[in-house]
Amino acid sequence: MTIWEIIITSVIKIAIALTSLLLSVAYMVYFERKISAWAQNRLGPNRVGYRGLLQPFADVFKLLFKEDIVPDAANKTLHTMAPFISLFVAFATYAVVPIGPEVNLFGYQIKLVVADVNIGILYVLALTSLGVYGITLAGWSSGSKYSLLGGIRSSAQMISYEVSIGFSIGGVLLMAGSLRPIDIVNAQYGGMWNAILQPIGFITFVVSAFAETNRLPFDLPEAEPELVGGYHTEYSSFKFAGFFLAEYANMIIASLLIVTLYLGGWQIPYVDKLGLSEGLTVVLQIASFLLKTAFMLFVFIWVRWSIPRFRYDQLMNLGWKVMFPLALLNIVWVAMLIMIFKL
Amino acid sequence: MAQKKRKKDLSFWERIYIVEIIKGMILTLKNMLRPKFTMEYPEVKFEPPASYRGRPVLVLEENGVERCVACGLCSRVCPALAIEVQASETNLEKERYPEKFEINMLRCIFCGFCEEVCPEEAIVMSKDYELVFTNRNDAIFGKDKLLIPVEQLRDRIEFLRKFK
Amino acid sequence: MPQITIDGKQIEFKPGQTIIQAARHAGIEIPHFCWHPELSVSGNCRVCLVEVEKMPKLVISCATFASEGMVVHTKSEKALEARNAVMEFILINHPLDCPICDEAGECKLQEYAYAHGKGESRFEEIKNRKEKRVQLGPYVKFDAERCISCSRCIRFSDEIAKANQLTFVKRGDRVTITTFPGESFDNPYSLNVVDICPVGALTNQDFRFKSRVWEMSHTESICIGCSRGCNIDTWVRNNQILRLTPRFNPEVNSYWMCDNGRLNTFKHVNSDTRIDGVYIRHNGALTKSDWDTAYKNVSTELRKYRSDEILFIGSPYATLEDNYVLKKLAAQFNSIPYFLTHIKPGDQDDILIREDKTPNSTGAELLGLKKLKDYEELLTLFKNGKVKAAYIVEDNPAALDEELKEQLSNLKLLVVHATNRNETSELAHYLFPAATYAEKHGSFVNFMGRLQRIKPAVETVELDRALDGMSMSRWDKFGTKFDRWKQGYKYDALPSWKILSRLINALNEKVRYNMAEEVFNEISNNVEAFKGIDYDSIGEMGVQIKYELV
């Protein structure tokens, strides 16, 4: 491939990735509302468009037409910057997640990932750590005590849980022997999903992912009864929409990562033994990847409407006294697996 | 109510919490699959039972005269001061009639005290719950909006005779 | 003093008092319908039955004289049982009219039925039907069904009004009240029977169905119909006076007032002819202006005239405060205000009505205003030809005589304070809106030298019911500007003393009165007759002043 071909394919990939992510974020909001309604024996949004399918657009337009309020006490620059940091981090992480194997399209070998970085997982960890800045800056720059408390809580929470996330991933990396996401997926070939091989690591990762994305039961940064809106109390209009989108984008990223790291990515066990054509296999694999992600997203929402919020001290206890030791245990476990079975 | 469990009473499986979480989530899942009872309002309208307290209305007798004698008790008992009555003399046997009878629907709290206190069974709570106005003056209902023929209120009047 | 024991309480009484009077004196209320402190005893309602020890039967306390050592029980089982029985008996033929009855809320029968009644009736037969709308006289309507035959109205017309116009006819349950054949119940005190009627049988034609009593606020005030100054309550709803009722004052009017005072002295307060805001004559027509311009213009115009060219005319309709400040203004021009008396010779009786039809002529005279016996005296003042300007406060001389009107219209400057449009106000060059007697604080001195106070009952633009401590009904307390029942019109008017004191300020002379009370305190410091009196000592009943008129 020439440099131009690489540029063009990259641009196309970025465009597809961004639009699909934005759309899915919008519809995540819709499904969140629908599923919460079902869980509470309601119908949910059903007025805008067929079965309310245009509701996300109505929501977005409503947010855009609202007045953008910046409090007097706010640090204007940081206050404006914060949502963009959050958004940027959420979208940038998406770049390294592979949604399928290499495909042969129009005579080109194309990897179904925006950037096949050989330190992909490191990149993800680095960016999610950056995400703390968005929220902390939002909390600090608003000049409101609620925002500040929300920001502080969230930074403490995210830093704590990043530790467990890091150690959980440690197990996966040991298995795959690579930081490249495609290698990690390939290492789970043939039903050897990390979720099955290292269940403790899976659980710690999922729980920490919940905490990392500030979703219930760990949404203390925006605990409404105590903190009004948490770090985004003083945000309105487009900037608020920024945080809103970032939250859902983060959720999608988290799901994608869980699928990639633990649920075998696009892998369908023994699909190559069926003797299907290469094209069909790839389509099936991509579909399986999307399905797994969709299921994880459903779990995210499902958990939110089932489990009450933790207390802050419980959250910290859980993070440091339970998740962290468990993640360490998981590494020992994986190391033993590798030692014994010579995987 | 179930006995509150102390932390020391919990079994191992309850302690690790995961099982309990899954139980809870299955409960939510079951609820998601249950049928919904939501009435889709503008298309489907709720037909309230006789005991429903909708907007208060005045009973209009079959001969076209209101029952109200403007005694002002509803106005006095109204905790929100929503009702204003101006009496005047009439040549009918009842001597007195409301020259002006206004209910400020912004003040009304639908408590039904007016209906309870009315000695003439002249003000009753209707089944009408669709009250929309766009300015303060529209919210003040005069006799033109309040008088409702007695046939339409039979349900409520019978209910009152039985239970009041 | 001899003593009597009522309900275990030792009470002193004056010989000749009945039990009910002795009890009332000591603050023990014995229920009664037919007994009235100012009327003779008839003893026919039987509701005041009490148990007296060592008497074989219960006695009616209104007709039994108290005697030394008597032991009375008003709440013993026997007395209560008898009272309940009497109530049941009275209620047998009393219609369930409370919803349409104007008396509801101040009805004795309603109160006693609530306190002493059984709450249900054993009477299964059909109640008596009688005529419900009998026009007894021009102002009084009678509902025969509601009547409990207490005879208070009959005794009133015989004993107080001395008119002998009413009587019972028929017997038993058919008994009813009527006028003697060919007579109409038209004596000048007829409406008092509406007040004393313990039920709603007699109603005031003027107030009938206007308002429920609990919707109105009431303010203690003084009637301005004549120089008697009957004590009254002013009943106001939605900033409108709906009725006046007499207020008990043994020194002035007892429980009564005349029909003229009751019906005709408040109508002008809410009438269409009220003057709302300041008017200045402009190109021959009175046009609305603002206060500051008026003060400025009037003060500059007044300065153009010498003391013998200006005539200040006070008023016996105005309060002491108004006349006093007018006198102060006149002093700026080395002049003394005059005032006209309004006497209807012969229109006077021994009961209440006086021929002097103004409330404050004695007061105006005591303040040192020069009294003019009639309009001719005023005319002569004009006729000497020097007068070029006049300042008239709350009086209407132009209505008295055509020639006087002519003289007034020829003046170079005529400043008028008036509450309503009248003949004089139409001639004015500057017309100030004066607050009526129902819109200001002030004081009057009646014909026998009793100093009494009026209080505001109706709001003007400058008054606020809550902030100025005016009496408030439930509606006044909780109403907002969006409630139609709180939107009663407020006129842009000021008490004359306030207008005058601001005018004096505009003449660069400092007077600072914020309240009528301050004006009165100055009067009591400066005028011998009012020495040592203040608003508090006048109180609700007024005080008798000592004075000598030249």
How far apart are alpha carbons C527 and A102 in whole angstroms? 115
Q: What backbone torsions phi and psi does residue A37 show, to the nearest 5 degrees?
A: -65, -45
Which segments within chain A are labelled E, that is strand?
103-105, 108-110
Classify residue C129 as exposed, middle or buried by CB count within 10 Å of its CB (0-12, 13-18, 19+): exposed
How far apart are alpha carbons C80 and C149 in whole angstroms? 22
Residue C550 in this model has a pLDDT that exceeds 60: no
- Reported confidence tier of residue C311, pLDDT bands at 50, 70, 90: very high
A39–B28 CB contact, under 8 Å? yes
B76–C208 CB contact, under 8 Å? no
B32–A38 CB contact, under 8 Å? yes
Coarse DSSP helix, strand, coil percentages of chain B, rounded to the nearest 5 percent: 30, 20, 50
Residue A148 in this model has a pLDDT that exceeds 70: yes
In this predicted structure, what is the pLDDT of residue B1?
A: 52
Q: Give residues with Cβ within 8 angstroms of C134, minimum separation 6.
A: C141, C142, C143, C144, C178
Classify residue C490 as exposed, middle or buried by CB count within 10 Å of its CB (0-12, 13-18, 19+): middle
Residue C325 in this model has a pLDDT that exceeds 90: yes
Q: Which of A42, A203, A302 sits opposite B25 (nearest CB)?
A: A302
Chains B and C touch (3+ CB pairs under 8 A): yes
- Cβ count near B95 (within 10 Å): 19
Residue A223 in this model has a pLDDT that exceeds 70: no
- Cβ count near C236 (within 10 Å): 31
Q: Which of A212-221, A320-329, C91-100, C166-175 is least confident?
A: A212-221
Report whether C140 contacts C193 (CB < 8 A).
yes
Residue C382: CA count within 13 A, CB half-sphere: 23
In this predicted structure, what is the pLDDT of residue A225?
A: 67
Contacts of C99 in chain B (CB under 8 A): 69, 71, 73, 96, 119-120
How large is the average pLDDT for residues B58-78? 92
Q: Which of A313-317, B110-114, C463-467 is least confident?
A: A313-317
In this predicted structure, what is the pLDDT of residue C169?
A: 93
- Reported confidence tier of residue C160, pLDDT bands at 50, 70, 90: very high
Q: Give residues with Cβ within 8 angstroms of C290, minimum separation 6.
A: C277, C278
In this predicted structure, what is the pLDDT of residue C495?
A: 95
How large is the average pLDDT for residues C93-106? 90
How large is the average pLDDT for residues C464-473? 91
Quote the pTM value. 0.78
Contacts of C209 in chain B (CB under 8 A): 70, 87-89, 95-96
Sheet holding B147-149, edge to edge: B123-125, B56-60, B147-149
Contacts across the B-C interface (CB distance below 8 Å):
51
CA angle, B98 then B103 then B105, to 5°? 165
Contacts of B36 in chain A (CB under 8 A): 38, 41-43
In this predicted structure, what is the pLDDT of residue C119?
A: 77
Nearest-neighbour CA in chain C from B130: distance (Å)? 22
Report helix, strand or coil for C212: coil
B21–A307 CB contact, under 8 Å? yes
Contacts of C104 in chain B (CB under 8 A): 71
Contacts of B27 in chain A (CB under 8 A): 306
Residue C531 in this model has a pLDDT that exceeds 60: yes
In this predicted structure, what is the pLDDT of residue A231?
A: 79
In this predicted structure, what is the pLDDT of residue A14?
A: 86
In this predicted structure, what is the pLDDT of residue A224?
A: 67
In this predicted structure, what is the pLDDT of residue A98?
A: 82
How far apart are alpha carbons C212 and C473 in whole angstroms? 12
Question: Which residue is associated with the tokens 């026009």?
Answer: C135
In this predicted structure, what is the pLDDT of residue A173?
A: 87
Q: Give residues with Cβ within 8 angstroms of B31, minimum separation 6.
A: A38, A39, A40, A41
Report whether B118 contacts B133 (CB < 8 A).
no
Q: Which of A128-142, B5-19, C77-91 is least confident?
A: B5-19
- In order of A18, A40, A310, the CA distances from A119 in angstroms are 22, 43, 34
How far apart are alpha carbons B97 and B117 in whole angstroms? 17
In this predicted structure, what is the pLDDT of residue A137?
A: 86
C100–B76 CB contact, under 8 Å? no
In this predicted structure, what is the pLDDT of residue B43?
A: 87
Report whether A278 contacts A115 (CB < 8 A).
no
In this predicted structure, what is the pLDDT of residue A46?
A: 85
Contacts of A46 in chain B (CB under 8 A): 40
In this predicted structure, what is the pLDDT of residue B2?
A: 63
Residue A288: CA count within 13 A, CB half-sphere: 17
Residue C224 in this model has a pLDDT that exceeds 90: yes
- Cβ count near A29 (within 10 Å): 18
Residue A47 in this model has a pLDDT that exceeds 60: yes
How large is the average pLDDT for residues A36-42? 88
Substitution target in C96, C484, C486 with the highest count of B β-carbons within 10 Å is C484
In this predicted structure, what is the pLDDT of residue C198?
A: 94
In this predicted structure, what is the pLDDT of residue A341?
A: 78
- Peptide bond before A71: cis, by omega within 30 degrees of 0? no
Nearest-neighbour CA in chain B from C231: distance (Å)? 29
B25–A38 CB contact, under 8 Å? no
Q: What torsion do the CA atoms of C127, C130, C133, C134 make, to the nearest 10 degrees? A: -150
Residue C216 in this model has a pLDDT that exceeds 80: yes
Q: Which of A123-127, A157-161, C18-22 is least confident?
A: A157-161
Percentage of chain B exceeding pLDDT 70: 97
C212–B72 CB contact, under 8 Å? yes
How large is the average pLDDT for residues A117-130? 85
Residue A226 in this model has a pLDDT that exceeds 80: no
- In order of C21, C56, C61, the CA distances from C3 in angstroms are 13, 21, 16
A307–B24 CB contact, under 8 Å? yes
Percentage of chain C exceeding pLDDT 90: 74
B71–C100 CB contact, under 8 Å? yes
Contacts of C133 in chain B (CB under 8 A): 95
* Residue C14 falls in which region: left (phi positive, over 0), alpha (psi -120 to 50) or beta: beta
How large is the average pLDDT for residues C463-492? 90
- Reported confidence tier of residue A263, pLDDT bands at 50, 70, 90: confident
For chain A, the structural domain boundaries read 54-341
Q: Could you read off the pLDDT of C254-297 as tens digits, one per residue?
A: 999 999 999 999 999 989 999 999 999 988 899 999 999 999 99
Q: Which of C99, C474, C485 sits opposite B84 (nearest CB)?
A: C485
Predicted-complex ipTM score: 0.83
Q: Pick the residue with more confidence: B14 or C403?
A: C403
Percentage of chain C exceeding pLDDT 70: 100
In this predicted structure, what is the pLDDT of residue C223?
A: 94
**Listed ranges A88-92, B12-16, B31-35, C70-74; the one with the highest mean pLDDT:** C70-74
Q: Give residues with Cβ within 8 angstroms of A35, minimum separation 6.
A: A44, A298, A301, A302, A305, B32
Residue C112 in this model has a pLDDT that exceeds 80: yes
In this predicted structure, what is the pLDDT of residue C256?
A: 94
Q: Which of A267-271, B22-26, B128-132, C14-18 is least confident?
A: A267-271
